């Protein structure tokens, strides 16, 4: 429940961080975004809500929008890169060798998927909580081409951070939104899932036609 409260009321916690730690809040936000995207064991850390709340504070002058954009884009890119590298190192060892735990055919299918649709998956996953934590790891385990991953990782990081910070900048201080931040957080999660749902529906339709 502590984690849920932290995510749903991150705007209030962020104000407390600014009051207590001053400029160190930039390092705190960098660390949270890096961990949320970089480690498969921390998928419940705030991502969208953090960026939205940070954007709202940037609009009031409490934080620098330029610094937030630069730091959090780099944190998102670096986090996914670490996650991908860990998956690339650990993944094959789970499917092959003495300690084989899973069917290697699944890994081969994942590799084929990421070679064909991986770029789209990397970008879309950025906007889906929890999913964005696991996709780069799976892409690494599936041995997705590194150059392709780096390109779409950069596109996803820039798009995600810019869009969420921008939304917070323009809408975060509107009274009805500011006073109902927990509902806004839930709404952000719902909207974030929509692109993935549309893609799944479209994929199933293509399969039926084939």
More confident residue, 59 or 202: 59
- Determine which helix (DSSP H) or strand (DSSP E) holds 122, and give its type and residue range: helix 104-125
Q: Any alpha helices (H) in 39-145, and if so which ranges?
A: 48-60, 65-95, 104-125, 131-141
Cα separation, 155 vs 90, in Å, equals 25
Note the pTM of the prediction, 2 decimals: 0.78
> pLDDT digit string (tens) for 159-207?
999 999 998 898 877 777 776 766 666 666 666 666 666 666 776 777 7
């Amino acid at each position: 429940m502590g984690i849920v409260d932290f995510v749903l009321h991150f705007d209030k916690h962020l104000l407390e961080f600014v009051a207590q730690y001053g400029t160190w809040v930039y390092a705190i936000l960098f660390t949270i975004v890096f961990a949320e995207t970089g480690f498969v064991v921390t998928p419940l850390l705030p991502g969208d809500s953090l960026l939205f709340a940070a954007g709202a504070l940037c609009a009031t002058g409490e934080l620098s929008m330029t610094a937030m954009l630069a730091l959090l884009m780099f944190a998102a890119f670096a986090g996914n890169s670490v996650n991908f590298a860990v998956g690339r190192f650990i993944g094959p060892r789970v499917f092959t060798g003495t300690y084989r735990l899973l069917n290697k055919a699944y890994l081969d299918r994942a590799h084929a998927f990421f070679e064909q649709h991986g770029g789209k998956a990397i970008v879309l996953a950025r906007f889906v909580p929890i999913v964005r934590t696991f996709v780069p790891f799976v892409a690494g385990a599936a041995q997705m081409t590194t150059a392709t991953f780096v390109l779409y990782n950069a596109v996803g990081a820039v798009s995600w951070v810019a869009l969420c910070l921008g939304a917070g900048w323009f809408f975060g201080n509107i009274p009805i939104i500011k006073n109902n931040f927990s509902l806004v957080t839930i709404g952000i999660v719902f909207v974030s899932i929509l692109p993935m749902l549309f893609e799944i529906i479209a994929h199933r339709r293509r399969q039926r036609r084939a």
